[in-house]
Amino acid sequence: MILTVTLNTALDITYRVPSLRPHTSHRVSEVTERPGGKGVNVARVLAALGHRVTVTGFAGGATGREVHARLTATPGIADALVPVTGTTRRTVAVVDEHSGDTTQLNEPGPHITPAEWSAFQDVYADLLPTVSAVALCGSLPPGVPVGAYAGLVRAARAANVPVLLDTAGEALRRGIAARPDLIKPNADELAELTGAHEPLRAAQDARRRGARAVVASLGADGLLAYTSEGLWRATPPAPVRGNPTGAGDSAVAGLLSGLVEQLPWPARLARAVALSTATVLAPAAGEFDRAAYEDVLARVAVTGEVTAA
């Protein structure tokens, strides 16, 4: 069993329009809704890959009830979301079918009370002995301490459970000091953390700050991995256009599944890049096109070497 933590869950709504133009009305050609938030997206992809997954975090209000209902209907996913009095946020992605570009609108999320945060920590502690790996994903909702991820990383390490951290800003800065097994920032998040804009230098700095391994997402240029076992670069075969919502989360699912399956780093990275690319090509946030995944997986270029990094 793999555990994904989404403290700021969401209902992801995707609108597709022929062409997005400011200051005009639009006729929507298609609407899709999915349970969302980074860790929920990770869980959905892991389940599609055949892994059993438990999802925890917070859910409340009418939106939270919809998230619960849709998670319950998803094979392979167990729902351990903690109820809150506030209302789970919505995220809205508007896909311009002509340009392929996506405009994203993200609500902030409900305010979490100290009692609700304490209840979540109890659930998390109870789940840790039952899982093989943990992914801590996304932003912190209002009310959750900024050092929350650091505490959750330390709890996982104390339970001898590998932990992946995928967040940004001060939450990442605090969390990395607790020595997560892996972080997966994008290039901007990594530069904000370290002050270095060259990805390799920034990844080296992030490892010095506490991360045991760093996989940096470079957008269309793929992934850069800097670990104690070596340095690798994984590149998709060609650029693609589509809805990028959830693409980074699919990469996290690829990395986490590869860790649990004890795949070598090049295989983990190839899977992560292929899943990320296939998610961009899928019509809805947090899904991936399986045919595209299998095609891209066979053609991902992974270069690098095993070293004492």
Rounded-to-integer distance, Cα 153 and Cα 146, Å: 13
Which two tokens mark 32? Answer: 């899709």
Query: How distant, in Å, are the alpha carbons of 97, 102, 104, 141, 275 from that of 219?
Result: 20, 15, 17, 26, 13
Q: How far is CA 257 from the centre of its chain?
A: 13
Contact 182, 159 (CB under 8 A): no
Residues 67-85 as b or e (16 or more Cβ within 10 Å = b): bbebbeebeebbbbbbebe
Residue-by-residue DSSP string for 169-207: HHHHHHHHTT--SEE--BHHHHHHHHS--SHHHHHHHHH
Rounded-to-integer distance, Cα 284 and Cα 31, Å: 9
DSSP, collapsed to helix, strand or coil, labels residue 225 as strand
* Residues with a known catalytic role: 249
